[in-house]
Amino acid sequence: MTNKMWGGRFASGPAAIMEEINASIDFDKRLSAQDIAGSRAHCEMLARTGIIDREDASVILKGLDTIASEIEAGNFEYSRALEDIHMNIEARLAALAGPVAGKLHTARSRNDQVATDFKLYIREALLHLEGLLHDLQRELAQKALLHAATVMPGFTHLQSAQPVTFGHHCLAYVEMFARDRSRFADARKRADECPLGAAALAGTSFPIDREQTAKALGFSGPAANSLDAVSDRDFVLEALSGASITAVHLSRLAEEIVVWSSPGFGLVKLSDAFTTGSSIMPQKRNPDAAELVRAKTGAVFGAFTQLLIVMKGLPLAYSKDMQEDKVPAFTALDTLSLMLAAMSGMVGDLEPDKEAMAKAAGEGYSTATDLADWLVRNLDMPFREAHGVTGKIVALAESSAIALENVPLGDMQKIESGITDDVFSVLSVEDSVKSRTSFGGTAPSNVRKMAQKWIKRLESDPTSG
């Protein structure tokens, strides 16, 4: 049988396999709220401009309210034969309102309709992700304040480098996630033009008021070019790009949690809430939540790449290829939402082992740079020369299997006669971190100040990084 939604051009219905590949209702039904919102705004505009009668508009709006209630209650019957959420709602509206329902599609197309629906969805999703990032930043900032003076090893190349504080390390991720929030906020700004009214691709001859519909839907204004309005998916790509960078940051933190919680490091502990056991090894406590955050990053990257490939060769304006934008976006943004929630839980749950951290912080001659800096300050030695002297003292300590601060003064003086016993005031890990008072440094006083600043900022402005 013919599909009534396509009109008289088609004498018969699609082949079964065509219906299978063409239908999108299985996934785009989650745009129902946005589709109804767009239809309401469009209907009210049509009535206000006199394109349809007020009485007809009232009937249509009442039908849309009924459909919204049915969907919310779980009583709406979706049909794959009707392809997508737009046709499903339109068909139900026709059943409720009769022929007058057909007036709703005046001066619009599914092309501008789906672009509007999806843009509304992406904007809401980005705002949701900003909120989750805010929660994670707050957990990290509070942990940073609590552990502003908790010394731990700082690494480069995953080798012991210089002592830092755990609080300072937490604040590094606060900064990363602030950039992520700003990217999402910027993406929302660039998704602030409404496609509705662009129709199929060329606009419409009806005297519509696109400013009215844009305002009703929360946009700053209408998209300026009808071709671009229906064919643009930059707002999805930008959301997925930002999501991918956020996923990178989450995966890096997850990797550190996995490494830190392993017996070889033993720097942090997770409770039963975010670990699992082994079916055969009773002693195991596996950081599965962190491992899954790390692994799920691939789904986010994959979605971004998939949509880039879909869009890369499309001529203007709309092509059916663009139907394939939704599943990757839904998958990626849902996945990232779960990752953020899990990471917030892990950060709140995570407890550093202060004793183990302090011990590890002193390993690997991590205060060697402090020794070199002492030589520069006290002996007016060029840093490169001080670097060489320090390297010789480290080699001596290593050959004697002793810590740097335990090298006898006399042995140091054999390498550099100007060294005095004051040098020992800079060789402990505690003294090392206290000395790093430059802006952005790891000194506990710096960390406390910055953590407090972030906590205050997050409490006063929960919607922007």
pLDDT mean values, one per 10 residues, the chain (465 residues): 51 71 88 98 98 98 98 96 94 97 97 98 98 97 98 92 95 98 97 98 98 98 98 98 98 97 92 81 83 97 97 94 94 97 95 95 91 95 96 94 93 94 93 94 97 96 62
- pTM, two decimal places: 0.91
Name the residue among 193, 202, 236 with its Cα closest to residue 323.
236
Give the model's pLDDT for residue 15: 75
Q: Residue 157 catalytic?
A: yes
Give the model's pLDDT for residue 465: 46
* Residues 6+ away with beta carbon under 8 Å from 316: 201, 227, 228, 231
Indicate which residue of 79, 220, 271, 278 is catalytic. Answer: 278
Q: Tell me how far apart the alpha carbons of residues 55 and 219 are, in angstroms, rounded to a whole number.
A: 27
Residues in the chain: 465
Give the model's pLDDT for residue 305: 97
Q: Tell me how far apart the alpha carbons of residues 230 and 320 are, in angstroms, rounded to a whole number.
A: 12
The helix (H) or strand (E) run that includes residue 41 is helix 32-48
Bridge partners (DSSP) of residue 194 are 222
Q: Residue 278 catalytic?
A: yes
Indicate which residue of 12, 157, 399, 438 is catalytic. Answer: 157
Give the model's pLDDT for residue 1: 36
CB 133 within 8 A of CB 181: yes
Give the model's pLDDT for residue 5: 54
Q: Which two tokens stand for residue 392?
A: 């010789």
**CA 425 to chain CA centroid, nearest Å:** 44
